[in-house]
């Protein structure tokens, strides 16, 4: 049985789109980067910690035998600019600050994914470069006012209104949405799903 250790509706939609059957069981762990932790290490650690926490919780609740059939998928996405992690904005002012930083520049979106079963833990990361057009202060303010940036790493959603400022990406589009489907599918297929 596949379990998605995430409350993200975007990740659920993507897994469904790819044809997987699963249940959602969000993980609740601290998501702060460690001191001097690079972005790839950060997202892969969080993905692994989320998947392991949910695996432990479900096997403790349902017994070890049920744990043998569990496959738990954890994921975490971040935006980086000049190796600085831009997480989810704290408030509207923070969202505007992030969007000003991204305006007219290319940044990286990194998603860490982890698959935890009774036999193994597999971890991977996907990196996509995203180019932003210049955004005026008025455009930033109007976008922030929509509320869309508030629960998104880097304060934007490529699949939403922010698409108008993104002329090109290099890499996996689905990674920017929050789950690199090809990489995840390969990991799941290696587990027989």
Q: Which residues are catalytic?
A: 76
Which residues does residue 4 pair with via DSSP β-bridges, in sequence order? 24, 73
Label the pairing between strands 71-81 and 2-4: parallel
Which residues does residue 76 pair with via DSSP β-bridges, in sequence order? 112
Produce one character per residue of 11-34: b if its CB has 16 or more CB atoms within 10 Å, e if not: bbebbeeeebebeebebeeeeebe
Beta strands (DSSP E) in the chain are 2-4, 23-24, 71-81, 84-86, 106-116, 121-131, 168-170
- Rounded Cα distance between 105 and 81, Å, is 9
């Amino acid at each position: 049985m596949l379990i998605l250790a995430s409350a993200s509706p975007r990740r659920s939609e993507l897994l469904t789109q790819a044809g997987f059957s699963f249940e959602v069981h969000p993980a609740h762990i601290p998501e702060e980067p460690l001191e001097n932790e690079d972005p790839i290490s950060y997202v892969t650690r969080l993905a692994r910690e989320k998947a392991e926490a949910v695996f432990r919780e479900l096997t403790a609740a349902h017994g070890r035998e049920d744990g043998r059939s569990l496959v738990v998928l954890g994921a975490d996405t971040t935006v980086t600019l000049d190796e600085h992690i831009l997480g989810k904005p704290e408030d509207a002012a923070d969202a505007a600050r992030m969007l000003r930083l991204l305006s007219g520049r290319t940044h990286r979106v990194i998603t860490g994914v982890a698959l935890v079963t009774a036999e193994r833990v597999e971890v991977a990361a996907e990196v996509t470069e995203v180019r932003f057009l210049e955004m005026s202060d008025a455009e930033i303010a109007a976008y922030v006012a929509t509320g869309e940036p508030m629960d998104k790493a880097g304060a934007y959603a490529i699949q939403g209104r922010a698409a108008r400022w993104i002329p090109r990406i290099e890499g996996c589009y689905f990674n920017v949405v929050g789950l690199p489907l090809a990489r995840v599918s390969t990991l799941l297929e290696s587990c027989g799903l």
